[in-house]
Amino acid sequence: MTQHFTTLNWFGIARLGLVQASLGAVVVLTTSVLNRVMVIELALPALLPGLLVAMHYLVQFIRPRMGFGSDRSGRSTPWIQGGMLVLASGGVLAAGAVALMSRDVSSGIGLAFIAFMMIGLGVSASGTALLVLLAKRVDEKRKAAAASCVWLMMIFGFAMTAGISGKLLDPFSFERLIMVSLGVSCIALAISFIALHGLEPKSLAQTAQNANEPKLRFKEALAEVWQESRVRRFTVFVFISMLAYSSQDLILEPFAGTAFGLTPGETTSLSGLQHAGVLCGMLLCGFITSRSKNPNLSSLRIWTVGGCIASSLAMLSLVMSGLVGPGWPFFSTVFILGVSNGAFSIAAIGSMMQFAGMGKERREGVRMGVWGAAQAIAFGLGGILGTGASDLARYVLGDPVTAYASVFFVEAILFMAAAILSFYIRPNERITKTQPVESSIPRPFISHGGSS
């Protein structure tokens, strides 16, 4: 039975963007402000916040199960709201745990791990269900632009929360930290619930309940989705591209300071330049694809492949900057890297939203959950592998600049591999949801030992 959904207009997409911004506001407070407090004010090892953030990513293995729940219920809104409740509670609890560390370190750390697990669970439920809702309700022509809008609003949530909370925390006290965290969480919840009100008709749940489809358990639904070769290949693509994307985050500024002698203020400005490039790439891809007269997955694939290739070339340019030195256009390279990253990531998200609805009907949530879990694992590993590989290369090669350059070279290879993978994901663009699964599956590119 095919479900018919009313597509969201730009106002509806912006409302979902407010939800994503609220999600980002809670997360940024726990990953930036609490990180600094643990390391600076409490003089705890930097490994502790690193482990807590890794825990928040590790928990996101559960994303496919959250997506399955959204599929079974027929509505995404309750999962987004429930996820935001858990996320907001985890954010407040994390602030309380840091305050507790000032009096009892071991108890505070134990409570912090519980809080960051809640944060991971909340992000998994709300983030996955929000993407499912976008995939179901946004017109194909608007998918990349909608992804740009939602992600830009999330970045806006990051920036605004970091700026306002930073001012409210002075003069610093742990009581003030808890109050600011509580305020951010309450405001995020209020905005999310108001933005979601009436956005998804309740009649869709009744439609899902009346669908003539046998009730499958989660493991059966996951196995069913994993039989689709497109899902498997796109999962590998997401993991490799996001691993390359995230691995340079923690080493680009140290590289700039080591190779070019930039001050901490100058490296912070460099990071701002890169993020400005990311925003430009997102806007460019979203605008051009939304204005296209014949938008389809092929055009998004071109942007994805092109963005990955451009990112690979930018990484090679970073390698050359380490070898050549100050004469190389380093700042331009960083900006181009940001533009390339932004373009390929938005095109990939747009493709993800379209792929989610292809194949077996009513499995959008499971597919989105699988890809979300792959992204979370990649981000969790990226920072660890990037910094660890640079330390290892420095030990082997003896030169820090060459060590950083060698890691950038590996990331360039990963981006090129991601481009090749994306090129070979060739969906049948005429597929509809009422067609059998087999007709929607292209010839396998990566063999997983099973028939497709």
Does residue 186 sit in the same domain as residue 243?
A: no
Q: Are residues 407 and 340 in the same domain?
A: yes
Contact 130, 349 (CB under 8 A): no
Which sign does the torsion angle of CA 264, 270, 274, 280 carry?
A: positive
Q: Assess whether pLDDT exceeds 50 at residue 441.
A: no
User: What global pTM score does this model have?
Assistant: 0.80
Q: Specify whether 227 is located in the same domain as 115.
A: no
335 in any annotated domain: yes
176 and 50, same structural domain? yes
What's the confidence (pLDDT) of residue 1? 36
pLDDT digits over 264-296, tens only? 778 778 878 888 898 899 888 888 877 766 555
Whether residue 337 is contained in a domain is answered as: yes
Sequence-separated (6 or more) residues with CB below 8 Å from residue 94: 30, 34, 112, 115, 116, 119, 181
Q: Are residues 280 and 181 in the same domain?
A: no
Region 371-375: what's the mean pLDDT? Answer: 92
Note whether 325 and 392 are same-domain residues: yes
451 lies in some domain = no
Structural domain of 275? 218-444
In a domain, 204, yes or no: no
Q: 226 with 191, same domain?
A: no
Whether residue 205 is contained in a domain is answered as no
Tell whether 449 is covered by a domain: no
Tally of CB atoms within 10 A around 54: 18
Which residues neighbour 441 within 8 Å (Cβ) at sequence distance 6 or greater? 228, 229, 230, 359, 452
Provide the domain count of the chain.
2
Helix H or strand E encompassing 380: helix 364-397
Cis peptide bond N-terminal to 171, omega within 30:
yes
What would the pLDDT profile of 295-324 be if each residue is shown by its tens digit? 556 778 889 999 999 999 999 999 999 888
Q: Can you give the CATH number for the domain in which 349 is found?
A: 1.20.1250.20
Alpha helix (H) residue ranges in 197-228: 203-209, 218-226
Domain termination site, one of 134, 163, 197: 197
Instruction: Answer whether residue 433 is part of any domain.
Output: yes
Which of 106-115, 139-148, 206-215 is predicted most confidently?
Answer: 106-115
Residue 58 vs residue 211, higher pLDDT: 58
Tell me: do 138 and 238 sit in the same domain.
no
Instruction: Please indicate, yes or no, whether residues 406 and 259 belong to a single structural domain of this protein.
Output: yes
Report H helices in 138-217: 143-168, 174-196, 203-209
Residue 128 and residue 66 share a domain: yes
Cα 123 to Cα 154: distance, rounded to the nearest angstrom:
13
